Amino acid sequence: MAKHSHEFVETYDGFVGYGLDRQTDEHTVHLYLQKFSDDSLMNTILKRMTDEDLAEVFDTASKMLKKYLTEPEYHQLFLKDDKG
């Protein structure tokens, strides 16, 4: 059974746009990130990204994880393990 899920992108049928209100912003970011992480898109875009682009994406994601997750949440939600 898969550990990761991307169900939101498959079921969301609401407005996609940023700046209208907080809930729409959250839905839009949720949708964009799930679409962005699609394997076929990643296989294409990663080869075209510069070393600086890769570092920027990695650093931004790492900063978000450290800022918004506790250590146990990091292990449970991101690493998908039982440690922490």
The model's pLDDT over 47-61, given as tens digits with 9 standing for 90+, comes to 999 999 999 999 999
Q: Which domain holds residue 10?
A: 1-48
Tell me, what's the pLDDT at 69? 98
Is 37 in the same domain as 62? no
Return d(Cα 2, Cα 8) in angstroms, integer. 16
Cβ-contact 34, 9 below 8 angstroms: yes
By residue count, the chain amounts to 84
The number of beta carbons lying within 10 Å of the beta carbon of residue 9 is 15
Is 5 in the same domain as 21? yes
Is 34 in the same domain as 63? no
Is 41 in the same domain as 77? no
Is 14 in the same domain as 33? yes
Tell me, what's the pLDDT at 83? 67
Is 59 in the same domain as 42? no
Is 44 in the same domain as 55? no
Number of domains in the chain: 2
Positions in the chain whose pLDDT score sits under 50: none
